[in-house]
Structure 1
Amino acid sequence: MTTTASTRRQFLTLLGLSAVAVGCGATATGVAGKGQTRTLRYQGWAGQVTLPELAADLGYLEDVKLEWVGNTISGPQDIQSAATGQTDFGGAFNGAVVKLAANNAPIKAVISYYGSDKHAYSGYYVLEDSPIRSARDLAGKKVGMNTLGAHAEAMLGIYLQRGGLSKAEIDKVEPLVVPPVNTEQSLRQKQIDVAVLGGILRDKALETGGIRPLFTDFELLGAFSAGTFVMTDRFLKQNPDTARTFVTGVGRAIEWSRSTPHEEVIARMTAIVKKRGRNEDTAPLKYWRSYGVAETAGRINGKELQLWIDWLGERGDIRKGQVTLGDLYTNEFNKAGSGGAASVSPSSAASKSGS
Structure 2
Amino acid sequence: MSEARSTPPARRVAFRQLASLALAGSAGSLLAACSREGGDNKAAAAKTPEAPAVIGKAGEKVEFRYPDNPTFDLVYLADQLGYFEGTNTRPKYIGKVAAPQIIPLTGTGEIDFGSRMVPLVISAVASGSDIKVVAAGNKTLQDAPHMKYFVRKDSGIRAPKDLEGKTIGINSFGACAEFVTKTFLRQKGVDVTKINFVVIPDDQAEQTLATGNTDLAIIHAPFSGRADHADKLVRLWSDFDLDGGLGGMQPYSAHGKFIREHPESVKDVVTALAKAANWVNAHPEDARQLVSKRINLQLEFVDRYAYVDNLVVTEPPIQYYIDVLEAEGKLAKGKVAAKDIYTNAFNPYAQAVAKA
Q: What is the TM-score when the length of structure 2 is the normalising length?
A: 0.78
Are 2:102 and 1:89 equivalent residues in the alignment? Answer: no
Q: 1:26 to 1:292 in 2, by over 3 A?
A: farther
Partner of 1:277: none
1:189 to 200, 205, 211: 211
Q: Which amino acid aligns with 1:137?
A: D
**CA displacement, residues 243-285 of structure 1 (integer Å, 9 cap, x when unaligned):** 001011101100001112x4432343455x2xxxxxx5x2334
The 8 Å contact of residues 183 and 197 in structure 1, kept in 2 or not, is answered as yes
The 8 Å contact of residues 270 and 347 in structure 2, kept in 1 or not, is answered as yes
Q: How many angstroms apart in 2 are the aligned matches of 1:174 and 1:44?
A: 31
Q: How many angstroms apart in 2 are the aligned matches of 1:192 and 1:33?
A: 50
Q: How many angstroms apart in 2 are the aligned matches of 1:44 and 1:82?
A: 14
Q: How many angstroms apart in 1 are the aligned matches of 2:197 and 2:292?
A: 33
Partner of 2:19: none
Q: 1:115 to 1:25 in 2, by over 3 A?
A: farther
The percent of aligned pairs where both chains have the same amino acid is: 26
Q: How many angstroms apart in 1 are the aligned matches of 2:321 and 2:49?
A: 28
Give SS of 1:32's match.
coil
Q: What is the TM-score when the length of structure 1 is the normalising length?
A: 0.78
Query: Alpha-carbon deviation of 1:61?
Result: 2.0
Partner of 2:146: 121
2:201 to 179, 193, 216: 179
Query: Alpha-carbon deviation of 1:291?
Result: 2.1
Q: Which amino acid aligns with 2:78?
A: A
Partner of 1:323: 336
Give SS of 2:174's match.
coil
**CA displacement, residues 70-118 of structure 1 (integer Å, 9 cap, x when unaligned):** 22341x4101111111100111111111111111112211112223212
2:168 to 123, 143, 148: 143
Which segments of 5 or more consecutive residues in structure 1 lack a partner in the other structure?
1-22, 274-279, 341-355
Partner of 1:314: 327
Give SS of 1:176's match.
strand
Which segments of 5 or more consecutive residues in structure 2 lack a partner in the other structure?
1-46
Q: 1:182 to 1:288 in 2, by over 3 A?
A: closer
Partner of 1:204: 226
Aligned 1:1-355 pairs, distance under 5 A: 32=54, 35=57, 38-46=62-70, 48-62=71-85, 63=87, 64-74=89-99, 76-117=100-141, 118-165=143-190, 169-224=191-246, 225-260=248-283, 262-270=284-292, 273=294, 282-293=296-307, 295-336=308-349
Over aligned residue pairs, what C-alpha RMSD do you find?
2.5
Q: 1:84 to 1:45 in 2, by over 3 A?
A: same
Q: Which amino acid aligns with 2:272?
A: G
More displaced stretch, 112-121 vs 243-252: 112-121
Q: How many angstroms apart in 2 are the aligned matches of 1:195 and 1:211?
A: 10
Q: How many angstroms apart in 2 are the aligned matches of 1:322 and 1:284?
A: 45
Q: 1:26 to 1:65 in 2, by over 3 A?
A: farther
Q: 1:209 to 1:322 in 2, by over 3 A?
A: same
Q: 1:270 to 1:316 in 2, by over 3 A?
A: closer
Q: How many angstroms apart in 2 are the aligned matches of 1:37 and 1:104?
A: 30
Q: How many angstroms apart in 2 are the aligned matches of 1:311 and 1:155?
A: 8
